[in-house]
Amino acid sequence: MARRGPEWAEWVHRLPAILDGLLEEWQLTVDGWMMHGYVALVVPVRTAGGGAAVLKVRFPDEEGEHEHLALQHWGGRGAVKLLRADPHRWAMLLERLRQERLGEMWDLEACEVVAGLYPLLHVPAPPQLRSLTAYVDRWAAQLSALPRNAPLPRRLVEQAVSLSRDFVADPASTGTLIHGDLHYENVMAADRVPWLAIAPKPMSGDQHYEPAPMLWSRFDELEGDIRDGVRRRFHALVDHAGLDEHRARDWVVVRMMNHACWRLLEAPGAQRVASTGDHLTMCIAVAKAVQD
């Protein structure tokens, strides 16, 4: 994490003191190996009463600023339960879940699980959340500024810009609490219910915005059957959740083109799971598949 830049390095330097302070103040005892995702450290702990929990401390960024508010708003319904939070230290005490995730499940079965979580999570948004349309307006400007020789089909770029502007002008694009990053690895098994969402990037938005991460995740599994594989996932999500197919499709196009644009705008040397060429190919393939 520290190699990502000076802000990350400074946060990593402060992390041991932050953890020590929280463990002492909240009377927590470490109860297992520390774990981490891309932006957070997670420590299994026991509370003073002996209950099992996890302490999560995340890197301070815009996407995660309101994570605790979303979890508090859901109250454990469809998502991991928030037990305590310290927004100033970007820390949360959460119920402990099991280690199984949807990545170990057949993709269409996993899509039905996620679609079943949508109605639990998609409730009226609290007023503190940033609006999805504020982000989309910014993304449309970035897409519009791409040079014509950018390695993306110009038709898809222009379509995404047009759709983005339509969504920004549409009142239905805000008002619903959305997870923002609901995919296979952000759903974990639990004891009180079979599955719960974790790690939201919450916004006041449109429920139809949600399906795209389930289409681009585990993309390598679709090799040789990309078009039909993407469409099967898309329809499993849309049909099981009762979403409007056309609106969900349009949001997928917007998200995939923005996903591609972000890669083109990344600073050289950024840490990447896939090459730029493979990433752009995936974005284009998903955007085309939902429209064919």
d(CA 263, CA 108): 28
Q: What tokens were used for 53?
A: 């929990």
What does the pLDDT read at residue 276?
80
User: Could you tell me the pTM of the whole model?
Assistant: 0.94
What's the alpha-carbon Rg for the chain, to the nearest Å? 19
What does the pLDDT read at residue 292?
80
Fill in the amino acid letter for 3.
Answer: R
d(CA 74, CA 196): 11
Q: What is the per-residue pLDDT across 64-82, written as a single tens digit (0 to 9) for each?
A: 999 999 999 999 999 999 9
pLDDT along the chain (292 residues), means of 10: 94 96 98 92 96 97 95 98 97 96 94 98 97 96 94 96 98 98 97 97 98 97 95 98 98 97 76 75 97 88
181 catalytic residue (yes or no): yes
Tell me which H or E stretch contains 210.
none
- Catalytic option among 31, 137, 170, 181: 181
Question: What is the length of the chain?
Answer: 292
Count of other CB atoms within 10 angstroms of residue 153: 14
DSSP letter (8 states) at residue 195: E
What does the pLDDT read at residue 274?
61
| 111 close to 187: Cβ distance less than 8 angstroms | no
Q: What tokens were used for 233?
A: 């996932």
Q: What tokens were used for 17?
A: 């003191």
